[in-house]
Amino acid sequence: MTRQWTRRQVLAQAGIAAAAVYTLDPHELCCSVNAYAQTASAEKFELKKVGDGIWAGIAEARYKVNSNAAVIETNDGLVIVDTHSKPSAARALYKDIQAVSKKPVRKIINTHFHWDHWQGNEVYASANPGLEIITTEQTKQNLTKADAGVGGVPFIEKQLATLPGEIAKLKEDIPKAPNAEAKARLESNLAQAEAYLQELRQIKPALPTRTVSKTLTLKEGGREIQLHVLGRGHTDGDLYIYMPKEKVVATGDAVVDWMPFLNDGYPEEWVQTLDALQKLDITHVIPGHGDPADRSHLTFFRGYMADLIAAVKKAAADGATLAEVKTKVADQLAPKYERGMSKYPLGRYRDRIGQNIEMVHKKVVAKS
């Protein structure tokens, strides 16, 4: 049974002061969006069938990004993986889901603690008494830890502290827009940022009620759903949701169809974890962001991570400064990865390669 707490109750329990002053560098924000990006004016998802009774809820680009969801139907109810960045997004997807199945939602699974994957939990909790919210033991801890990274209840406070500044900047930029189209995009993104701030103020965090430490097999109304903790990667608490009969896996951001976000990650272990994932018999991948993919995407994504680490290590060992490593490695990996990593308006190769290199430099080179 979930109990919905106010943000301040959760923070008080965790012994964290609510009014911490914090300045967010936009690069710190997983899935942050350029102010000029073209984004959808409403919370929108496309439900794509990936197996019998399994759908991917694919999020359209929004200024405050939403994660994808996986929707799994069983004989006695629905299991939903991830709930996006805001209750209004979860409500929009829930409406779409009800057009394909009227069954009650029995379980929510959160793949990791990042803001854009769990902040809509409360929608399902309030609509479905007795709802279970499942995640890894580590993610449960991260959700209330003060310094876990870009997610959790303390991070809601950080966003509340920084959003007014972000909104003021958008307002400042509008009169300076170079053309009508850019102005319209900025105005849409401003409206989205303002609406997000309003929602964030009202959030009642619905936190996990059950955890997985290694593996857990759910026999849900005749369907087998395996939950796997395979090692550290995108975060230290990533959970993989695998349906062995249908050969479908939902990965959260441990596999995305964008450029990955490494700030809360473990680059070298991530590659090993992806090797463990590839041992499962998988034909369809529901990634944390971007379209559903086939198994070959796992190889491509793993290849990027491994090549990135090797290239940064090599350039640093050859004596290049961080600035030189950035230019060199970005150009070196572009022929193999730029196209495949730039399919959407958000999270493209050139938007993120510099930050990816910097993170590998910090986490792999500098520490060795």
Distance CA 333, CA 335 (A): 6
Closer CB to Zn ion, 26 or 164, in the complex: 26
Distance CA 151, CA 137 (A): 15
Closer CB to Zn ion, 203 or 311, in the complex: 203
**C-alpha distance across the termini of the chain, in Å:** 46
Instruction: Pick the binder of Zn ion from 253, 268, 351, 358 (CB under 5 A).
Output: 253
Q: Enter the tokens of residue 10.
A: 């959760």
- Give the 3-state secondary structure of residue 266: coil
State yes or no: residue 236 binds Zn ion (CB under 5 A). no
Instruction: Pick the binder of Zn ion from 43, 116, 246, 358 (CB under 5 A).
Output: 116
State the binding string over 37-76 for Zn ion (x if CB under 5 A, else -): ------------------------------x---------
- The residue with tokens 């984004």 is 39
State the binding string over 2-31 for Zn ion (x if CB under 5 A, else -): ----------------------------xx
For residue 34, the minimal CB distance to Zn ion (Å) is 16
Q: Return the range that interacts with Zn ion (CB under 5 A); candidates 95-103, 131-139, 237-245, 282-290.
A: 282-290
Q: Residue 309's closest CA among 252, 368, 256?
A: 368
Closer CB to Zn ion, 29 or 163, in the complex: 29
The residues, any chain, with a CB within 8 Å of residue 368's CB and separated by 6 or more, are: none
In 18-149, beta strands by DSSP E: 45-51, 54-59, 69-74, 77-81, 105-109, 132-136
Size of interface with Zn ion, in residues (CB under 5 A): 7
State yes or no: residue 238 binds Zn ion (CB under 5 A). no
Which stretches of the chain bind Zn ion, using CB under 5 A?
30-31, 67, 114, 116, 253, 288
